[in-house]
Amino acid sequence: MREQSFSRRFKKGIREWILVIPFLLIGTVLFILFVLYPQIKNIYISFTNYSIMPGAKNEFVGLANYRKIFTDIHVKGSDAYFFWMAFRNNILAILITVPGQLILGLLVAVFIHNLRFGKNIYKILLYIAVICDWVVFCNIVDYIFQPDNGSLVNYILTSIGILKQPVSWLKNTWTANFVIWFCSIWKGFGWVMIIYTAGLQGIPMDRYEAAKVDGANNVQMFWYITVPGLKATTFYLLINLINGAMNIFIQVFLLTKGDPIGTTDVVMDYVYRRAFNYFEFGYAASCGLVMGGVVFILSMFLKKYLRYGQDE
């Protein structure tokens, strides 16, 4: 009986594996072709003086490309100087765009959640920027921040007396960075709002009713019920927004191209230009791997720290 039972279970297991292997095989092949192999190739390129020219010899240079990143950091005009300036801009993007999207998305989500009518209309209107094509969106941002007095932003600010003359927003370091940060927040907070509205539906209403009975006002209920109730949602958003801020590329590429003199550059744009403008593929690969390592370590640190806080 035991042998028959084992035989039946074994045959059943074989049939199940036969059914599931095609699905696993497809995913495994795609992973190897489009994730694993490119990563291994990228690591190999970072240790060579790589060239895409047919017949060119890819000279092995060891850690030379990595030394290039960490030497002459304070020397203006050096490769390391521009790389770490781009890295600084990514860090600033995290510090500004991540809290901006979280706070704005949460406040709008709470506002929409408390509406009686028209919730879906507001969600659709605010989500349009998220689904809008990046090229179209950046062209709109570029148009409203034009340097002449006829642009939307300069016209409003000069009309109310904040500015005496129009500002060349995309030609100065910090105003151009501000436009990039503004673009990122505007484009992304609608997604944050949608995630938060889903999270708000998971908070039991009896908590708010009990708080009202105890005499709590709206601000107190927000801080002591809504915010703690969205802790897991905030953790999910935080990890994704930080990864997004560390991989900012297209808004810089379309709006400033790193100008003036690389002061608005970010690592992804810096890597792209080094690879496809200067054909320094080995150095670009090493920059990308350094950036990837920083993102991985930061993500693991946040994951461990925030989970520790939740366990407590």
User: 227 with 277, same domain?
Assistant: yes
Query: β-strand 59-60 against 48-49: which pairing, if any?
Result: antiparallel
Number of domains the chain contains: 2
CA distance 93 to 306: 21
Cα 49 to chain centroid distance, Å, stands at 30
In one-letter notation, the amino acid at residue 272 is Y
Q: Tell me whether residue 61 is in a domain.
A: no
pLDDT at 309 over 50: no
Tell me what the mean pLDDT of segment 18-26 comes to.
Answer: 85
Q: Tell me whether residue 217 is in a domain.
A: yes
The pLDDT value given to residue 114: 87
The pLDDT value given to residue 251: 93
User: 252 with 163, same domain?
Assistant: yes
pLDDT in tens, 104-125: 999 999 999 888 888 889 999 9
pLDDT at 220 over 80: yes
User: 39 with 84, same domain?
Assistant: no
Would you place residue 218 in the very low, low, confident or very high pLDDT band (cuts 50, 70, 90)?
A: confident
The domain in which residue 147 lies consists of 76-311
pLDDT in tens, 223-272: 999 999 999 899 899 989 998 999 899 999 999 998 888 899 999 999 99
Angle of CA points 249, 81, 177, to nearest 5°: 40
Cβ–Cβ under 8 Å, residues 34 and 27: no
Q: Tell me whether residue 62 is in a domain.
A: no
Share of the chain above pLDDT 90, in %: 56
Name the residue among 279, 255, 280, 257 with its Cα closest to residue 268: 257
The pLDDT value given to residue 186: 93
Helices (H), the chain: 2-31, 37-46, 64-70, 79-113, 119-131, 134-144, 152-159, 173-200, 205-213, 218-221, 227-229, 231-246, 250-255, 267-276, 281-311
Would you place residue 77 in the very low, low, confident or very high pLDDT band (cuts 50, 70, 90)?
A: confident
User: 32 with 81, same domain?
Assistant: no
User: 120 with 239, same domain?
Assistant: yes
Which residue, chain included where needed, has tokens 């489009």?
34
pLDDT at 310 over 70: no
Give the predicted TM-score (pTM) of the model.
Answer: 0.86
Residue 228: both structure tokens together: 């703690």
Cβ–Cβ under 8 Å, residues 61 and 201: no
Cβ–Cβ under 8 Å, residues 244 and 189: no
User: 30 with 99, same domain?
Assistant: no
Tell me what the mean pLDDT of segment 168-177 comes to.
Answer: 93
Cβ–Cβ under 8 Å, residues 269 and 86: yes
Length of the chain: 312
pLDDT at 67 over 90: yes
Name the residue among 104, 105, 186 with its Cα closest to residue 141: 186
User: 37 with 149, same domain?
Assistant: no
Average pLDDT, rounded, for the chain: 89
Q: Tell me whether residue 56 is in a domain.
A: no
